[in-house]
Amino acid sequence: MHWRLALFTVIGLVYAAALTGAGLVAWRFTDPQKSGLANAALPLLLAAALALCSVMALWIRKDRVIGMIGIHAGLLVPLIAAVALAWRAWERWQVDGIGSPQVILLGICAVLGAFVFASMLRTRPPKEQRLAPAPDAKP
């Protein structure tokens, strides 16, 4: 396995763990009279999707199609997360104001999503390494 592919996967899994933590914290800050699932659903869904894509990217040497889907979808998920979480932060800001813990948490996760997208884009394996056969493959 190439170091860039491993780094791509680690970045994706760390961001998925951060989104999971953010979802749980958002659930904690929910009003006791309301269901916290609505606040936790978006970060938890994005975390699950990114974790799946990161693991799929590791399969590039065994099954090229699954690996390529994992790499490209893994690039899209943080970008979608950044936009969706920024939109959600904007909506919460209109209701709760800038000092709300949920607004701050969503804003941090949105900025982190943009950073993760740029990091994953820079660390994805080069095209020639994605197309190269596995070193132990027989001709």
pTM: 0.80
Residue range 2-41, pLDDT digits in tens: 788 889 899 999 999 999 998 888 788 776 666 667 677 8
Contact, 107 vs 35, CB < 8 A? Answer: no
pLDDT band of 77, cuts 50, 70, 90 = very high
Sign for the CA dihedral angle at 41, 43, 48, 49 comes to positive
Residue range 38-62, pLDDT digits in tens: 677 888 999 999 999 999 988 888 8
**Plot region of 126 (φ>0 → left; ψ -120 to 50 → alpha; else → beta):** beta
Neighbours of 94 (CB within 10 A): 9
